[in-house]
């Protein structure tokens, strides 16, 4: 896809996130909206995968550690063809495949069941280490939140990956600076985050998590690093695309009301028009 097409796809994904959240009446808004660009780039440009064959052995693996932002994964997977877009309105409903945290056995294409924060990188390390033992060439992508860095098991995984030089592992850190109790630097300061990863033998990149070309280029860069894992610290805006949600911690864990959803969808329709206009 072209950069313009990817940006439009991300905007469409944001609209479906809002629709699914208001239908559910619960769920997380800020993180999913903030990660739509990265998910669009991964599913429509970067990863090797096949929606018609979700268990293809040579597929790239995507592990979502901060499972509460699953509305963005579900919306992206629906647009990619893993299941009908209409199913998004079953988010968090009893018996739905689209639960509040992804469940591996419910939805083909979801690699792990996530919930306990801080666990995703350790799972990714295990998959990447096993792939290297088996001489498999697929790549493992892990997405985690910045707030998860308060979990000790995350840092155990950071050390393991660095020690074992897991160059087939790429970590996206959603550096949106918020968590459920407020701003990360008030709750538990994370900086200097780059230096911490480098200290454990990681290659580290900084990107604008809303710049499609930077997202794509950062993964190409990571593929060229053969002696260590790569952490891509993606600076994102929580609630991206919806003015009254952007950079507000209170939107970390709540859905919009019907009226708020109407306003959000109007903003996103306007944004979609601007994206088209900028590339004409």
What's the pLDDT score for residue 198?
Answer: 98
**DSSP strand pairing (182-183 vs 230-235):** unpaired
User: What is the domain partition of the chain in residue ranges?
Assistant: 3-278
Whether 61 contacts 140, CB under 8 Å: yes
Coil, strand or helix: which one is 64? strand
- Per-residue model confidence as pLDDT tens digits over 142-196: 999 999 999 999 999 999 999 999 999 999 999 999 999 999 999 999 999 999 9
Average pLDDT, the chain: 96
Contact call for residues 188 and 150 (beta carbons, < 8 A):
yes
E strands, the chain, where? 61-64, 140-145, 169-175, 178-179, 182-183, 203-208, 230-235
* 3-class DSSP state of 142: strand
Token duo for residue 92: 């968090």
pTM, full prediction: 0.96
pLDDT for 107: 96
What confidence score (pLDDT) does residue 271 get?
Answer: 77
pLDDT (tens digit per residue) in 106-156: 999 999 999 889 999 999 999 999 999 999 999 999 999 999 999 999 999
SS3 182: strand
CA 252 to chain centre: 15
Which ranges of 35-119 does DSSP label H, i.e. alpha helix?
A: 36-41, 70-80
Tens of pLDDT, residues 10-48 = 999 999 999 999 999 999 999 999 999 999 999 999 999
Buried b / exposed e along 90-128 (16+ C-beta atoms within 10 A): bbbeeebbbbbebbeeebebbbbbbeebbbbbbbbbebb
φ and ψ at residue 78, rounded to 5 degrees: -65, -45
CATH class assigned to 3-278: alpha beta
pLDDT digits (tens, 9 = 90+) for 72-102: 999 999 999 999 999 999 999 999 999 999 9
């Amino acid at each position: 896809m072209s950069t313009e097409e990817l940006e439009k796809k991300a905007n469409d994904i944001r609209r479906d996130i809002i629709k699914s959240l208001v239908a559910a009446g619960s769920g997380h808004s800020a993180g999913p909206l903030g990660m739509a660009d990265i998910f669009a780039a991964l599913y429509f440009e970067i990863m090797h995968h096949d929606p018609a064959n979700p268990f293809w052995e040579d597929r790239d693996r995507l592990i979502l550690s901060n499972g509460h932002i699953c509305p963005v994964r579900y919306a992206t997977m629906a647009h990619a063809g893993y299941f009908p877009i209409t199913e998004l309105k079953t988010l968090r409903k009893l018996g739905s495949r689209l639960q509040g945290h992804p469940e591996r056995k419910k939805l083909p294409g979801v690699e792990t069941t996530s919930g306990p924060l801080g666990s995703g990188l350790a799972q990714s390390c295990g998959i990447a280490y096993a792939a290297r033992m088996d001489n498999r060439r697929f790549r493992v992508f892990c997405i985690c939140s910045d707030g998860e860095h308060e979990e000790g098991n995350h840092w155990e995984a950071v050390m393991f990956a660095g020690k074992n030089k897991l160059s087939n592992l790429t970590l996206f850190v959603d550096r949106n600076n918020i968590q459920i109790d407020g701003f990360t630097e008030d709750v538990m300061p994370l900086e200097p985050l780059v230096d911490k990863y480098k200290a454990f033998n990681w290659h580290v990149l900084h990107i604008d998590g809303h710049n499609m070309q930077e997202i794509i280029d950062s993964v190409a860069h990571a593929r060229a690093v053969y002696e260590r894992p790569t952490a891509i610290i993606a600076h994102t805006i929580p609630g991206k695309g919806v003015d009254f949600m952007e950079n507000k911690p209170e939107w970390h864990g709540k859905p919009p009301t019907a009226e708020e959803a109407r306003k959000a969808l109007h903003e996103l329709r306007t944004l979609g028009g601007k994206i088209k206009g900028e590339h004409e």
